[in-house]
Structure 1
Amino acid sequence: MLAYGYRKFGGPAVFEALRQPALTPTPNQIVIKTLAVNLNDADRIERLGATPATPLPLIPGHDVVGEVVQVGENVTDLPLGTRVAAYTQHTYAEQVVVDADTAVTVPDNLTPADAVSLITPGITAYKTVRYFADVQAGQTVIVKGAAGSVGSLVVQLAERLGAHVIAIASQRHADELIALGVQQVVAYDHHDPAHVLADQGDVVINVALNGVDGKTDLAMAKFDATIASVATRLPATSKSIHFEAIHPTNAISDQAALQMLFKLLSTGQLTTHIGYHLPLTLAGFIQGHALLDEPHDGHIIVEPEA
């Protein structure tokens, strides 16, 4: 079996093909043949050596959709051939071993690429809206980073709950965000959101890279508003704010989040934007990480060649 990883940190060129022994599931695991892998910014950060205690050599990756090809002796509800999705480890490979209780069945009308694009971005967006921000109908919800892989899902999920959604993004994304249901787009490259949206947000959600510019979040928030951000803290303020740092949590399980996201996507109540389909080869992963290193539009999906 071939996998794709690296023995040292650095740019995309550190990737190499790594031949691995055949996978054998434990009693509560399954082995899946990889049908699609989603590349995330966390994979790029890990490749650069910025994640503490990352072991080397490493086969990276977390988001995978595949077809069940082996099952452990205790697994009775996932027949061979079932398509499943999972958030797991070491997914840059032709086959992946998965704990059976973390696998979510993929609806028949979803492609592997569509399904895999919802794993990390979708789980993050769902938990942000339903748990950290606790969005309610009628609230004014301001989403910063609204055109990103997580942000575009956040605006759709908040809109479905009946919120009045205002998106912050560059002007070139305005039309696509309006099509997703937002009531207003403030283009940060044309206007200062802190002035345009001063004291308007019942909820401010910041899923821009690193939760940049907390001062603007504070300026846009009403007194006693909630700010949910991928940043770990807010700047000092005298404003009364309820702050939630977005982080991994089991308050809502990944499986429950994915099941709901798949239901919404399969019934046309949610959309996902795939920008790149790349081959499940060494060249494909190198190209995918080169894209991760630059501004890009849409999810980066790696799939086996037909």
Structure 2
Amino acid sequence: MLAYGYRKFGGPAVFETIDQPALKPTANQVVIATLAVNLNDEDRIERLGANVSTPLPMIPGHDVVGRVVQVGAAVTDLPVGTLVAAHTEHAYAEQVCLDADSTVTVPDNLSPTQAVSLITPGITAYKAVRYFADVQPDQTVIVKGAAGGVGSLVVQLSKRVGAKVIAIASQKHADRLTALGVDQFVAYDHQDPAHVLADCGDVIINVALNGVDGKADLAMAKFDATIASVAGSLPATSKSIRFRSIHATNAISDQAALQMLFKLLSIGQLQTNIGYHLPFSLAGFIEGHELLDQPHNGRIVIEK
């Protein structure tokens, strides 16, 4: 069984083909034949060796869609041939072993590529809106990083709740975000959002890289607002603010989030932006990580 990984940390060229033994599921597991993998910034960070305790050799990858080819003895509801998705580990491989409880069945009208593009950004966005920010109808929600994979889903999910949504991104993304139904767009490369939107937001959701510029978040927030950010903290302030740091949580399970996200995607109430379709090969994974290392527009999907 072929997989794609690395024996040392570094740039995209560290990837190589790694032969793995055949997978055998335990009683509560299934083995899938991989059809699509979604690349995430977490994959890039791991490859660079940010966590020196990462075991080597490493088969990376967290977002996978495939068809069930083997079923453990205790699994009764996932017959062979079922198309499933999961947020997991070691997904850059021809076959992946999954806990049956972690899998979500993909609706018939979604392709593997559509489904896989939604996994990590969708789970993050869903939990940001529904749990960390707890967005309510008629609130004014300001989304920083609105053009990114997570941010554009935060925009759509907040609109679906019934909030007024203000998107912050660069001017080149204005048309796409307007098409997603934002109530106001502010181009940070043309205007200062902290000035234009001073004291406007009931909720600030900051999913820009590293939760940049907490001072601006505070400036845009109303008194007693909620700020949910991928940053770990906020600057000191005299405002009464509820701060929620967005992080991995099981308060809403990944499976529950994915089930709802797939439903919305399948009925046309959610859109993802797939920018790159690459072959499921060593060259495809190397090219995908070269794209991860630079500014890019849209999800990077490796597909068969």
TM-score (norm 1): 0.99
The answer for the alignment partner of 2:125 in structure 1 is 125
CA RMSD, Structure 1 to Structure 2 (Å): 0.6
Over residues 29-84 of structure 1, what are the superposed CA-to-partner deviations in whole Å (9 max), with x where a residue is unaligned? 00000010000000001111113521111000000000000000111100000000
Does residue 204 of the first structure (1) align with residue 204 of the second (2)?
A: yes
Ranges in structure 2 where 5+ consecutive residues have no aligned partner: none
1:65-214 alignment runs, 5 A limit: 65-214=65-214
Where do 1:1-306 residues align within 5 Å? Answer: 1-304=1-304
Query: What amino acid sits opposite 1:145 in the alignment?
Result: G
Shift of 1:237: 1.0
Offset of 1:221 from its aligned partner?
0.4
Q: List per-residue Cα deviations over 1:97-134 (Å, max 9, x = no partner).
A: 00001100000000101100111100000000000000
What is the alpha-carbon distance in structure 1 between the residues aligned to residue 90 and residue 78 of structure 2? Answer: 21
Q: Write the distance in 2 (CA, Å) between the matches of 1:152 and 1:32.
A: 30
Q: Indicate how the Cα distance of structure 1 residues 157 and 31 shifts in structure 2: closer, same or farther if over 3 A, else same.
A: same
Provide the identity percentage: 79
SS at match of 1:225: strand
Gaps of 5+ in 1: none
Distance in 2 separating the partners of 1:112 and 1:169 = 29
Q: Secondary structure at the match of 2:45?
A: helix
Query: Whole-Å Cα distance in 1 between the matches of residues 174 and 108 of structure 2?
Result: 32
**In structure 1, distance between residues paired with 2:46 and 2:222:** 37
TM-score, normalised on structure 2?
A: 0.99
Displacement over 4 Å in runs of 4+: none
